Amino acid sequence: MSEFSYEIVEEISVLSSNAKGWQKELNLVSWNGRPPKFDLRDWGPNHEKMGKGVTLTNEEFAALKEIITRM
């Protein structure tokens, strides 16, 4: 059995939501007590269920910002 903990440190933005209450969100999330990372992910209502997503380090987020602002 394995466990992990997470804490949504900052809710940055909700990118979309659907009829069932799931939302695609950009947040700062701390995993297992570690320093928070940027996190792009689907969440169920009230963050009770977690869907698929990616975490981004500060460096990856900076790279994403650089490319996205040029698009």
Contacts to a second copy by CB under 8 A = 12-13, 15-16, 24, 26, 40-42, 52-54, 56-57, 59-60, 63-65, 67-69, 71
Report the C-alpha gap between 53 and 57 in whole angstroms. 14
Q: Which is nearer to a second copy, 7 or 60 (CB)?
A: 60
Q: How far is the CB of 49 from a second copy (least distance, A)?
A: 15
Q: How far is the CB of 33 from a second copy (least distance, A)?
A: 21
Yes or no: say if 13 and 24 are a contact pair by the CB < 8 Å rule: no
- Closest C-alpha to 24, from 41, 44, 3, 2: 41
